[in-house]
Structure 1
Amino acid sequence: GNFNTAGMLVVQSGCWTMLKGGATSFAAGKGELFFETNVTAELMVDSMSLQPFSFEEWKSHRHESIAKERKKKVKITVHGSDGKVLPDAELSLERVAKGFPLGNAMTKEILDIPEYEKWFTSRFTVATMENEMKWYSTEYDQNQELYEIPDKMLALAEKYNISVRGHNVFWDDQSKQMDWVSKLSAPQLKKAMEKRMKNVVSRYAGKLIHWDVLNENLHYSFFEDKLGKDASAEVFKEVAKLDDKPILFMNEYNTIEEPNDAAPLPTKYLAKLKQIQSYPGNSKLKYGIGLESHFDTPNIPYVRGSLDTLAQAKVPIWLTEIDVKKGPKQVEYLEEVMREGFAHPGVKGIVLWGAWHAKECYVM
Structure 2
Amino acid sequence: MVDRLCKLFDDGNSAQLTLFADNDLITFNDAVFVDQPLRYVQKGKEQKKHKSRVRIQTVDDNGYPVVNVNVTIEQNPASRLPIGCATSKLILENEKYKQWFTSSFGLTTFANEMKWYNTEPSPDIENYSVPDSMLQLMKQNKILVHGHNIFTDDPKYLPSWFSWTAKNLRDQASTPSKYIKKLKEIQSYIGKGSGMAIGLQSHFDVPNLPYMRAAIDTLALAGVPIWLTELDVPSGINQAEYLEQILKEAHSHPNVEGIILWAPWSLECYGGMCLTDRDFNNLPTGDAVDRLFCDYWSSKKLEGKTDKNGNFETSIFHGDYKPKPGRYGSFKGRSPGGKLDNGMMELRRTASAVM
| Superposed pair shares fold, TM > 0.5 | yes
Query: Residue 172 of structure 1 corresponds to which residue in structure 2?
Result: 153
Please, which of 62, 66, 70 is the counterpart of residue 90 of structure 1?
A: 70
How far 1:153 sits from its partner (Å)? 1.0
Give the counterpart letter for 1:265 in structure 2.
T
Partners of 2:209 and 2:249 within 8 A in 1: yes
Q: What aligned pairs does 1:1-364 form with structure 2 within 5 A after superposition?
A: 18=4, 52-79=32-59, 86-96=66-76, 98-182=79-163, 222=168, 224=169, 263-279=173-189, 281-360=190-269, 362-364=272-274
CA distance in 1: counterparts of 2:61 and 2:132, whole angstroms: 52
**Per the alignment, do residues 266 and 31 of structure 1 end up closer, same or farther by CA in structure 2, a change over 3 Å counting?**
closer
CA distance in 1: counterparts of 2:180 and 2:111, whole angstroms: 26
Give the counterpart letter for 1:264 in structure 2.
S
How far 1:126 sits from its partner (Å)? 1.5
| Identity across the alignment (%) | 39
1:309-355 Cα shifts (integer Å, max 9, x gaps): 11111211111111111112211111111111110111111110011
How far 1:138 sits from its partner (Å)? 1.3
How far 1:62 sits from its partner (Å)? 0.3
Give the counterpart letter for 1:94 in structure 2.
E
Partners of 1:100 and 1:348 within 8 A in 2: no
**Per the alignment, do residues 167 and 35 of structure 1 end up closer, same or farther by CA in structure 2, a change over 3 Å counting?**
closer
Task: Tell me the matched-pair count.
Answer: 264
CA distance in 1: counterparts of 2:27 and 2:43, whole angstroms: 27
Structure 2 SS opposite 1:127: strand
Give the counterpart letter for 1:175 in structure 2.
K
Tell me the TM-score normalised to structure 1 length. 0.64
Partners of 1:109 and 1:358 within 8 A in 2: no
How far 1:265 sits from its partner (Å)? 1.1
Q: Which runs of 5+ in 1 are unaligned?
A: 1-10, 23-27, 38-44, 187-220, 226-260
How far 1:266 sits from its partner (Å)? 1.0
Structure 1 SS opposite 2:248: helix
**Per the alignment, do residues 76 and 179 of structure 1 end up closer, same or farther by CA in structure 2, a change over 3 Å counting?**
closer
**Per the alignment, do residues 82 and 159 of structure 1 end up closer, same or farther by CA in structure 2, a change over 3 Å counting?**
closer
Partners of 2:84 and 2:105 within 8 A in 1: yes
CA distance in 2: counterparts of 1:338 and 1:263, whole angstroms: 25
Q: Which has the higher strand share?
A: 2
Tell me the TM-score normalised to structure 2 length. 0.65
How far 1:170 sits from its partner (Å)? 2.7
